[in-house]
Amino acid sequence: MEEIGSQGGTLLLVDDEVNVLKSLSRLFADEPYRTMTASGGDEALAILERERVHVVLSDNRMPGMTGTELFQRVKKRWPQVIRIMVTGFADVQAIMEAVNEGAIYKFITKPWNDDDIKLSVRLALQQYQLVEENKRLTALAREQQEKISKYAAVLNENRGAIGLYLL
């Protein structure tokens, strides 16, 4: 399992409005997260290329690339990254499309409740860790099953010799 560690995880905040980014950054300043900001989808993708990110919070309506388009790309390239959409516009069609494609973990409307958004990020990071732990345990179980199968094959091949030895 990837340990998120004492940093608490890495959070990428994406919005084309500088004041919103500042507000979100202040909101998470006292939290044990490493926070980064991007003013649009292209900048966010560039950050994701070079940094390990656990959760992305993005506005939907941005020039150039919508949050929905960003999350579709993130899901394809970094499926383990948890994606939370924060938007002030009721663009139900785009949001439902993103939700149906599994591109969004949670949808939060502006103006947001500080406690709700903090809780959503905390739960998203826990979800991230649970998924990573599940992957690790599944791989371990598969590895152990392969070892058991090999031992069983050796035992089966040498059954006669083992029986004579035991007698």
How much is the pLDDT for 71?
Answer: 92
pLDDT digits (tens, 9 = 90+) for 11-31: 999 999 999 999 999 999 999
Which pLDDT belongs to residue 137? Answer: 92
The verdict on whether omega for the bond into residue 111 sits within 30 degrees of 0, i.e. cis, is yes
CB of 83 closer than 8 Å to CB of 103: yes
10-131: CATH topology: Rossmann fold (3.40.50)
**Phi and psi of 124, rounded to 5°?**
-65, -40
Per-residue confidence band for 132, with pLDDT thresholds at 50, 70 and 90: confident
pLDDT reading at 158 higher than 90: no
Of the chain, the end-to-end C-alpha distance in Å amounts to 47
Pairing status of strand 82-87 against strand 55-58: parallel
The CA distance from 16 to 105, in Å, is: 21
Mind listing the pLDDT tens digit for each residue in 139-157?
Answer: 999 999 998 888 888 777 7
Each domain of the chain, given as residue ranges in start order, spans 10-131, 133-166
Euclidean distance between CA atoms 23 and 45, whole angstroms: 22
Find the Cα–Cα–Cα–Cα dihedral 28, 121, 44, 129, rounded to 10°: 120
The string of pLDDT tens digits covering residues 62-108 is 999 989 899 999 999 999 999 999 887 666 676 777 777 767 888 88
Q: Contact 9/55 with Cβ under 8 angstroms?
A: yes
Q: What is the pTM of this model?
A: 0.79
Q: CB–CB of 12/36 below 8 Å?
A: yes
